[in-house]
Amino acid sequence: MQGFPFLSHKSLAIMPHLLYPSWIFLLLFSCDSGNRDQLEEGTAGKAVSISFEKLDSIEITYLGSPTVHDLDPITRTVLFMEHKETSQEITVADFDGTVLASFSKWGDFPDTYGNLKASLKILGNEGFMAYGSRGFLFYDFEGVFQSLEKHVDNPYPDPGFTRIGLGLAMEPLEDGYLYRNTVGGDKLPNGAEDYAALRPLVFLNPQTGETKPILHFPESSIFLRGRYFFRNAWDPAFTIADHLIYVAFGLEPVIYSYESKPPYSFISSIPLDLPDYNHAEGGKEYTSNVRFFGQARTSGKILNIKMVDDFFIIAYFPGFDAADKEASFTNKSPEEATNFWKGMREKYPHRIAVFDASGNRLSDFEPKGLIVSSMVLRNGELWMKEKPDEKVERDFFRLFRVGLKMEKAE
């Protein structure tokens, strides 16, 4: 890949070490009465309270609905985009909130990425990578095209919808990246053999253009019990730490670990005891009934996983209870539907649970004002995007660096 020397085999290989140093982010002590916590051994019945603390922030002046793709504490760079029906404007800003450049690579351009298949990825000081329908494209921070590595076999048709944004990015793995397998977005598994053959993750090699689906469901997985599930029910949340791949398959409240090198062998499973977690159990057969596909909106689901030192930080949607699930399918007027779903968002907010390495739940809380699925771990720092204000239109957005606050209750 001429003209982009920082993407050599050696530089890509060391990226994981740049992004994930061994030191843990700051642990401070405070309390949060809204937590539902497990008792700590030796505290004589005193609960341990854990929540997030905002340690730093980035405020960027911008009027619109930006989707943040990536940030890098080393280069102090933020990459975000305005996704519109007829345009996709990429913006580069620094940690002081200064916009450095804006440009588009979507549409009728000779250096277009086509349709994005993943969030844009910052690659050190030199620029960023776009994984699109044309292959792997590399640009500097002024939008100048550097190189293209086309798909070897072009095996990936454009999915109807790709989840893109902070917290949904690829992660460095060996000399490439680990990402969600976006193949067959419109095709559901048909029978036990199809589910057994599914590979929810893919290894991407931007140096060669190769894409290799990896990992099967373990034998104990809910997806291998002869049931049928709605599309994306198994959409993986994953992270890489301690030379292991940790993954939760969508609605299944279990962390599975695999070796991070071929053949990516299964290691172990850690059940997640999430309070009031309600997930779809699957149907006895495939059906086009709205109650089958509608579970995608009501089922509990693991949204994001990060591991800091020996703590698993899990972002999840708890799912509707039986009564609210049933109510979601009743006929409603437009006004009634609007009020119903607003009430459900308030009743079932996305939450954060903290587990130790053995799977013991230490805390469970709602991080108010933060988008839980947006967690990224960069250079040992945990960052999240602030929730937009639904009542007031802002001319800025913010990103927060967070740490864990811990305290033994009196």
Sign of the dihedral through C-alpha 42, 43, 44, 47: negative
- pLDDT (0 to 100) of residue 410: 58
- Mean of the pLDDT values across residues 62-82? 96
Task: Tell me the average pLDDT of the chain.
Answer: 86
Q: What is the pLDDT confidence band of residue 336, given thresholds at 50, 70 and 90?
A: very high
pLDDT one-digit tens code per residue, 174-232: 999 999 997 655 578 888 899 999 999 999 999 999 999 999 999 999 999 999 999 88
Sign of the alpha-carbon torsion through 37, 38, 44, 45: positive
pLDDT value at position 14?
A: 34
pLDDT at 48 over 70: no
Q: What is the 3-state secondary structure (H, E, C) of the chain?
A: CCCCHHHCHHHHHHHHHHHCCCCCCCEECCCCCCCCCCECCCCCCCEEEEEEEEEEEEEEECCCCEEEEEEECCCCEEEEEEECCCCEEEEEEECCCCEEEEEECCCCCCCCCCCECCCCEEECCCEEEEEECCEEEEECCCCCEEEEECCCCCCCCCCCCCCCCCCCCCEEECCEEEEECCCCCCCCCCCHHHHHHCCCEEEEECCCCEEEEECCCCCCCHHHCCCECCCCCCCEEEEEECCEEEEEECCCCEEEEEECCCCCCEEEEEECCCCCCCCCCCECCCCCCHHHHCHHHHCCEEEEEEEECCEEEEEEECCCCHHHHHHCCCCCCHHHHHHHHHHHHHHCCCEEEEEECCCCEEEEECCCCECHHHCEEECCEEEEEECCCCCCCCCEEEEEEEEEEEEECC
- Percent of the chain having pLDDT more than 90? 72
What pLDDT is attached to residue 343?
98
More reliable by pLDDT, 202 or 23: 202
Tens digit of pLDDT for each residue in 288-304?
A: 889 999 999 999 999 99
| pLDDT at res. 182 | 76
Give the tens place of pLDDT for each residue, 108-130: 889 999 989 999 999 999 899 99
Residue 262 pLDDT class (50, 70, 90 cuts): very high
* Residue 256 near residue 200 (C-beta atoms within 8 A): no
pTM of the model: 0.86
What are the boundaries of each domain within the chain?
5-408
Percentage of the chain modeled with pLDDT above 70: 85
pLDDT tier for residue 29 given thresholds of 50, 70 and 90: very low
Q: What is the pLDDT of residue 87?
A: 83
Q: What's the pLDDT band for 3 if we cut at 50, 70, 90?
A: very low
Domain 5-408 falls under CATH 3.30.70: no
pLDDT digits (tens, 9 = 90+) for 140-154: 999 999 999 999 876
